[in-house]
Structure 1
Amino acid sequence: MRGTPCTSSKITKLEKGQGIIVYFIWKIQVFFQMPIFLELIPYLSDIYGLNSFFIVLYSMYKRTLKLSRNYSSFLFGARSTGKTTYLQKHFLPETTYFIDLLDVEIEDRLSQKPSLLKGILDKLDSNYTHVIIDEIQKVPRLLDVIHQYIQKNEKRFFFILTGSSAKKLKAGGADLLAGRAFLYNMFPLTYLELGEDFNISTYLHYGGLPGIYNLKDNSDKDRYLKSYGLMYIKEEVWNEHLVRKLNPFRSFLELASMANGEIINYKKISNQIKIDAKTIQRYYEILVDTLLGFTLNAFNTSIRKQLILSPKFFFIDPGIKRALNNTLKVQLIPKTYAYGKAFEHYIITQVFFLNHYLETDYKLYYLKTKDGAEIDLIVEKPDSSLICIEIKSTDNSTSVNTTNLKNLAEDLQCRNQLCLSQDLIPRKEGGVTYLHWQNGIEQIFKN
């Protein structure tokens, strides 16, 4: 059994002088975050015939995540969010050893005898500084070997371990290296990462999974997202023995996607599927644990109003949500209810992603009274100051859109009130700042 360096074998066929040129330019790109490498790749490819590893680098979007190269780390994320590609770009192939547990033979041998990993590590050349193990949750017992190795050889390697769920590792008895590794999450692409390729209509329809942006035909995008749903059920849920019966979970996924962005009603879904509410609650926990979704808790306040306290649930991606409830063929038309809900979903996921990537430690909430008045998003900063946010898909926002926001925010003594929309004209009126959503998100994360 053998792992591989973090590149294809063809790189060894580059002549020494060519390799030095590539290595030097790559060093500049990695350590100084300069775009020179990406700009030169087409020319280098023509001259030197660079392999597919570098073509992957060229075609990949620059991610916001900043993963440390000087400490061991876990990188968690849902399937196909770009974890492996990110690591291939982030770490030098000459110094990184890669073990892919999606390889059935490697997974089988390490599952039977995890101590084999120590033998692999002991035999690695001294030039290797990092070891990446992809899909670590497939063999959780490897963490014991890694933990012991770090204790005895603390400065020999930095380990980068990817997977879909920290809780799945813990359930397998793993201790996540007892604080000897940082924890990171990766999500679908943000509008910032897509840059010039971002289109709001495309994102609301198909989401931000990187694979979508390699496809030109909309029918192929539909097939990709449908396949994603099937693979999630098979690989992440059934093969990992997270549920006992598959059909009720399939039905749950469709109903949960239809209720995306709504307050969770365990009893209602329980009655529709004919299983107990506790099982429905566990199903939601599976979605959160596998990073396919997240909950938005109700803001707990002492204001004198009848408040709803149950959480809302959001899938991490509009495309995944639309695939699961079979609405990929349904066009989202501006100024409709469905478009407004999709736009709100999009904004909340972007804030959620950036909160993780920028490590701002904001707490995110919503607030809704029992008579229906609502604040779409409340951001609580570490200093306990609040940002109260109304989200509207309109391109012509008015004070009519923010009546509930102003009334509830006043009760909360929230002085920072934002209305994020597609209106291009910024202004402040009646205590509310009206901003285009891009400027609004920038304002949320402004120091």
Structure 2
Amino acid sequence: MIARELTGTVLENLAHFPVTGIIGPRQVGKTTLAKSILSTYDRPFIHLDLELDSDLRKLDEAETFLRFHQDKLVVIDEIQRLPRLFPLLRALVDERRVPGRFLILGSASPSVIRESSESLAGRIAYSELTPVSLRELAHSLPMEQHWLRGGFPEPLLMQNPTIAWRWLDNFINTFLERDLRILGYEIAPEAMRRTLQMLTNYHGNLLNVSEISRSLGISAPTVNRYLDILEGSFLIHRLAPYFVNIGKRLVKAPKFYFRDSGIFHALSGINTYEQLLDNRARGASWEGYAIEQIRRAAPERWQFFFYRAHTGAEADLVLQSATGDIYLAEIKLSLSTGVTRGFFHSGQDLQPKGKFVIIPEGDAFPRADGTLVCGLEEFLGEMRRSGGDG
């Protein structure tokens, strides 16, 4: 089993907060992580899986049941299926406010965040469990396989690639045909499927909602609603532009990325590494993959943007540390170590503390202009060593 870096954070939260939440997409390993933590936990606990009718029935009289087990850690899996529990959890916590009363797990649900933030503010600490990161793999698999298949544990580790891609196709179909309905969204599966297919053309590019609206024949507010649902379900990410008052006209639209490279490749019909390298989307795919790995490896409270001015200045990634320091990164699939004119000018505009060209692999070395060229794994290690100090 792959060791998950979130383990320590969850244990810290259990020791300090009445309610600990683990959120993330389906099949990402939330239940596996919880069971791993509980196997060495030093208190009695009870586990409820709300996908099981037998466990749902136990909560027909939820207040009575939870009071009976008030001296145990109560683990509630798939809590988005029973949102009425949130106000009750708040009341029980306020009656007896001690750490480690509830561990709640929620899959792909914006309502998990919304409901609990309203009901459990100041009582809960959230952690997002992402698909397995490159750093978590610790060289147990080739980076090429991770980039191609993405980080969902089952397809990533499968020996049979045909079954791995079938798993990813089924994941997408289940999200469209079951999960949206369970979450209370009255959206025709085919309408969301067309939206996902259309969005593959925007991966790594500026998001143009008006263009998508015209192409799909739906209103711009509907497109934005679909995007909010997909982002709240941990499937996509909109990277915001970095704004600074430098007297230049800056691009205001966000850039769009599918968060898991395997999902993007499944939607794009890319099933082998050779197909990926031959596909015109290979550069955008690598950029999205690298950015997602960087976001997962970053110290707490770091923020991420891109920079683009109408003058042509551009940086794929702007990293802002917790102390406000700025770093710029250009992400290149090519092993060529030259920087673009746009990246050079972005450095002049923003005067960052550090500049990087991130390539798939290779020894790190500095350029004459102060830019450090390094492989992705080397950059992730450097972020870890920084410890968030900027």
Cα distance, 1:325 vs structure 2: 3.3
- Where 2:178 maps in the other structure, the secondary structure is helix
Q: Which residue of 2 aligns with 1:96?
A: 45
Alpha-carbon separation, structure 2, partners of 1:81 and 1:252 = 23
Write out the 4+ residue segments of structure 1 that deviate beyond 6 Å after TM superposition: none
Q: Work out whether residues 141 and 174 of structure 1, in 8 Å CA contact, stay in contact via their aligned partners in 2.
A: no
Q: Which residue of 1 aligns with 2:341?
A: 403
Cα distance, 1:69 vs structure 2: 2.6
Structure 1 residues 32-431: aligned runs within 5 Å: 60-65=1-6, 66-67=9-10, 68-70=13-15, 71=17, 72-92=19-39, 95-107=44-56, 110=59, 113=60, 116-124=61-69, 128=72, 130-155=73-98, 158-164=101-107, 167-169=110-112, 175-328=118-271, 331-334=274-277, 337-355=280-298, 358=299, 360-370=300-310, 372-395=312-335, 397-399=336-338, 401-429=339-367, 430-431=369-370
Q: When the two structures are superposed, what TM-score results if normalisation uses the length of structure 1?
A: 0.78
What whole-Å deviation, never above 9, does each CA across 1:118-173 have from its counterpart, x for those lacking one?
A: 322333495x3x11100111101111222121122323852011113563136558
- Where 1:79 maps in the other structure, the secondary structure is coil
Q: RCO (CA 8 Å, sep 6+): is it higher in 1 or 2?
A: 2
- Where 1:211 maps in the other structure, the secondary structure is helix
Alpha-carbon separation, structure 2, partners of 1:121 and 1:157 = 14
Alpha-carbon separation, structure 1, partners of 2:279 and 2:162 = 24
Q: Which runs of 5+ in 2 are unaligned?
A: none
Q: Work out whether residues 205 and 332 of structure 1, in 8 Å CA contact, stay in contact via their aligned partners in 2.
A: no
Q: Work out whether residues 107 and 138 of structure 1, in 8 Å CA contact, stay in contact via their aligned partners in 2.
A: no
Q: Work out whether residues 418 and 434 of structure 1, in 8 Å CA contact, stay in contact via their aligned partners in 2.
A: yes
What whole-Å deviation, never above 9, does each CA across 1:83-114 have from its counterpart, x for those lacking one?
A: 1100000113772210001113433664xx4x
Cα distance, 1:77 vs structure 2: 0.4
Cα distance, 1:305 vs structure 2: 3.3
Alpha-carbon separation, structure 1, partners of 2:3 and 2:275 = 28
Q: Work out whether residues 77 and 186 of structure 1, in 8 Å CA contact, stay in contact via their aligned partners in 2.
A: yes
Cα distance, 1:248 vs structure 2: 1.8
Alpha-carbon separation, structure 2, partners of 1:411 and 1:378 = 12
Q: Work out whether residues 143 and 177 of structure 1, in 8 Å CA contact, stay in contact via their aligned partners in 2.
A: yes
Q: 1:307 to 1:192 in 2, by over 3 A?
A: same
Q: Work out whether residues 109 and 232 of structure 2, in 8 Å CA contact, stay in contact via their aligned partners in 1.
A: yes
Q: Work out whether residues 148 and 262 of structure 2, in 8 Å CA contact, stay in contact via their aligned partners in 1.
A: yes
Question: Which sits farther off after the overlay, 156-165 or 322-331?
Answer: 322-331
Match of 2:89, as an amino acid?
I
Q: Work out whether residues 86 and 116 of structure 2, in 8 Å CA contact, stay in contact via their aligned partners in 1.
A: no
Cα distance, 1:186 vs structure 2: 0.8
Q: 1:253 to 1:311 in 2, by over 3 A?
A: same
Q: 1:332 to 1:392 in 2, by over 3 A?
A: farther
Q: Work out whether residues 187 and 316 of structure 1, in 8 Å CA contact, stay in contact via their aligned partners in 2.
A: no
Q: Which runs of 5+ in 1 are unaligned?
A: 1-59
Q: Which residue of 2 aligns with 1:23?
A: none
Cα distance, 1:365 vs structure 2: 0.3
Q: Work out whether residues 20 and 126 of structure 2, in 8 Å CA contact, stay in contact via their aligned partners in 1.
A: yes
Alpha-carbon separation, structure 2, partners of 1:381 and 1:249 = 36
Q: Work out whether residues 20 and 104 of structure 2, in 8 Å CA contact, stay in contact via their aligned partners in 1.
A: yes
Alpha-carbon separation, structure 1, partners of 2:267 and 2:57 = 32
Q: Work out whether residues 206 and 254 of structure 2, in 8 Å CA contact, stay in contact via their aligned partners in 1.
A: yes
- Where 1:162 maps in the other structure, the secondary structure is strand
The higher radius of gyration belongs to 1
Calculate the aligned-residue CA RMSD, in Å. Answer: 2.3
Alpha-carbon separation, structure 1, partners of 2:176 and 2:279 = 31
Q: Which residue of 1 aligns with 2:379?
A: 440
Question: Which sits farther off after the overlay, 311-320 or 65-74?
Answer: 65-74
Cα distance, 1:271 vs structure 2: 1.1
Alpha-carbon separation, structure 1, partners of 2:116 and 2:164 = 38
Q: 1:444 to 1:308 in 2, by over 3 A?
A: same
Q: 1:426 to 1:155 in 2, by over 3 A?
A: closer
Cα distance, 1:280 vs structure 2: 0.4
- Where 1:69 maps in the other structure, the secondary structure is helix
